[in-house]
Amino acid sequence: MLRSTKPLILGLLALAGGLALASLMLGPAPLSPGLALKALVTDQGSASVVVREIRLPRTLLALLIGWTFGLTGAALQGLLRNPLADTSVFGASQAAAFGAVSVLYFGLVGALSWALPAAAIGGALLSIGLVVAVAGRSTTVVVLVLAGLAVGSLAGAATSLAISLSPNPFAVTEIVFWLLGSLEDRSLTHLWLAFPFCLLASGLLLACGPGLRALALGEETAASLGVNVPRLRFGIVLASALGTGAAVAVAGSIGFVGLVVPHLIRPLVGHDPARALVPAGLAGAALLLAADIAVRLIPTPAEVKIGVLTALIGVPFFLWIIARRKAELSETPA
Amino acid sequence: MTRLDARGLAVDLGRKPVLGGIDLAFEAGSLTVVVGPNGAGKTTLIRALAGLLKPRQGAVRLDGRALSDLSGHERARSIAYLPQSATLAWPLPVAGVAALGRLPHGETPDALTLEGREAVRTALHAVGLEGFETRPATDLSGGERARVLLARALATQAPVLLVDEPVAALDPRHQLIVLDILRAKARSGATVVAIMHDLTLAARHADRIVLLEGGRIRAEGPPETVLTEAHLAESFGIAAHVTHQDGRLTVTPDRPLP
């Protein structure tokens, strides 16, 4: 009855694979595809150092974070039955950044400690939980977006305050790091710090598929179809916080991937939220990696922050969705 | 044969008591219509019967087993529920919406079993929407959309079907179509309970009427014993003419009583 999503998934995997290879090749010292692959598996001197220690962690992080964001965005839009839902709209990245900054500046832990993702996850959980609690049941899209805006602005201001009060002479650079994410100069240690949380988040979100399908008919009907709606809501909120918090802890806040990706996927898989999950994750991975390659190629004195690029693309996209769906957004409760 | 009964049922919404002292048994093969003024507790009653509300006292039993003892899926396979003014969040295809009724059987719209496909086909046939399978359900008219959502409830093939105001927003033709579907479902051996506001329609299609007022049952039984001018005056606060013609009941509300 419905087309299988397998060809699309295979296509997206191939796309992500191609982009990963490009990502290993491209940078200040470009390598040929053959040399990049050879340098990855065998020792090729300085080429191996570049590929294994600089470009591989960055590539894998982009894939991991992009996957998590894509999956989270698709699940949140399904949960709230709202095409404007995403952690970046809920201010979760800013709240996660605030969590991370708080432990760094007041808790005095190192930049590679488990406390960092834990605090970032705490911040994200607080903001997503707050927005879903305020706007999750039967309020309009406007309330949802406003609640997210308020939470995000508050967290952003709190982060800036915390940093400006700190004795760190590099405070301004730090603000830029936390408020506009980047994947530059990350190591495999960063990857391992984020990986377990992203894995857990992915597992939780993928398990929510059947519940999200039923939710298309509203909470009451979903409950009558045997879905435990409070548990579903809690699972998705928790998973979104885990993914966002872990990503922000290692890469700063990178927004709008989760918002954009489900819209790119829907024309191909239809509107069933469960069918969109895996393709949205893969498309998110490909999109973020493509963005990370783009910031390396844009000829600027210092690398453009990837968070700037995703916001530059994501915000106009967000406005476009609002403009296109204005009539229905003004009436339908989320 | 599935039997649904409520014994000593009392339900609160928040701290407000809404229903009390409800004793009702619903037999297989019959269509029961619940009527009552706004705020009488009709929706609360049907939600409690569907197992979606936890009663403060008493229990709803399905073939003798309390609903609270059933797992979510077990309950969902036995009781299909169509809420009032049900909505659809995404422009899913008609067949995809109906296929959601198979979720309690562990089937998903893109992986239906042979039985599931047959159930969806039968349900769409029953509501007269063959040929609409691939159309986005959100593009349909109100009457068609209501039938798609009813098809979703039918596709579960549950022995109990509970529907909250299924004809409220429909034109007369669609009202009659939906009531025919509900009656056919009852004739096929299911237990069907519907909430309705149109008393004449209720009188003509129901096997049994339950009159609810202030969270309590005021009367129940065959339409002609429940829908009397005295009951209507007392519960609805209206003066109404009830006429019998060729064994068919017509209720004409005349004016509100002071």
Question: In this predicted model, what pLDDT tens digit does every residue of A235-275 receive, in sequence order?
Answer: 998 999 999 999 998 898 898 999 999 999 998 998 899 99
Number of domains composing chain A: 1
Name residue, tokens 């422009």: B91
Neighboring chain B residues of A213 at a CB cutoff of 8 Å? 100, 103, 108-109
Does residue A303 lie within any of the structural domains?
A: yes
Question: In this predicted model, what pLDDT tens digit does every residue of A157-197 receive, in sequence order?
Answer: 888 888 777 776 666 676 667 777 888 888 888 899 999 99
> Which domain CATH number covers B27?
3.40.50.300
Assess B98–A contact: CB distance below 8 Å, yes or no. Answer: no
The share of chain A scoring above pLDDT 90, in percent, equals 40
Does residue A239 lie within any of the structural domains?
A: yes
Number of domains composing chain B: 1
Report the pLDDT value the prediction gives residue A332, as an integer from 0 to 100.
46
A144 vs A313, residue with greater confidence: A313
Does residue A15 lie within any of the structural domains?
A: no
Report the pLDDT value the prediction gives residue A334, as an integer from 0 to 100.
38
Does residue A124 lie within any of the structural domains?
A: yes
Q: How many CB atoms lie within 10 A of CB A169?
A: 7
Report the pLDDT value the prediction gives residue A81, as an integer from 0 to 100.
86
Smallest Cβ–Cβ distance between B88 and the set A217, A224, A270 belongs to A217
Residue contact B112–A1, C-beta within 8 A: yes
Name residue, tokens 């079993």: B113
A333 vs A2, residue with greater confidence: A2
Does residue B38 lie within any of the structural domains?
A: yes
Distance CA A68, CA A239 (A): 9
Does residue A9 lie within any of the structural domains?
A: no
Contact present, A101 and A107 (Cβ < 8 Å): no
What does the pLDDT average to over B221-239? Answer: 93
Report the pLDDT value the prediction gives residue A315, as an integer from 0 to 100.
87
Question: In this predicted model, what pLDDT tens digit does every residue of A112-159 receive, in sequence order?
Answer: 678 888 888 999 999 888 887 876 565 566 777 788 888 888 988 888
Q: Which two tokens stand for residue B202?
A: 């209720």
Q: Which domain holds residue A129?
A: 46-331
Does residue B149 lie within any of the structural domains?
A: no
Question: Per-residue pLDDT for A207 more than 50?
Answer: yes
Does residue A3 lie within any of the structural domains?
A: no
Neighboring chain B residues of A275 at a CB cutoff of 8 Å? 110
Mean pLDDT across chain A? 86
Position B109 confidence tier, pLDDT thresholds 50, 70, 90: confident
Does residue B216 lie within any of the structural domains?
A: yes
Does residue A13 lie within any of the structural domains?
A: no
Q: Which two tokens stand for residue B140?
A: 């349909």
Those of residues 128-187 in B touching chain A at CB distance below 8 A are 133, 149, 152, 156
Residue B93 has what DSSP assignment?
Answer: B
Report the pLDDT value the prediction gives residue A158, as an integer from 0 to 100.
87
Does residue B147 lie within any of the structural domains?
A: no
Does residue B135 lie within any of the structural domains?
A: no
Neighboring chain A residues of B96 at a CB cutoff of 8 Å? 1-2, 270, 272
Does residue A16 lie within any of the structural domains?
A: no
Q: Which two tokens stand for residue A144?
A: 């949802």
Q: Which domain holds residue B33?
A: 4-88+158-256
Report the pLDDT value the prediction gives residue A166, as an integer from 0 to 100.
73
> Which domain CATH number covers A182?
1.10.3470.10
Question: In this predicted model, what pLDDT tens digit does every residue of B2-44 receive, in sequence order?
Answer: 889 999 999 999 889 999 999 999 989 999 999 999 999 999 9
A166 vs A27, residue with greater confidence: A27
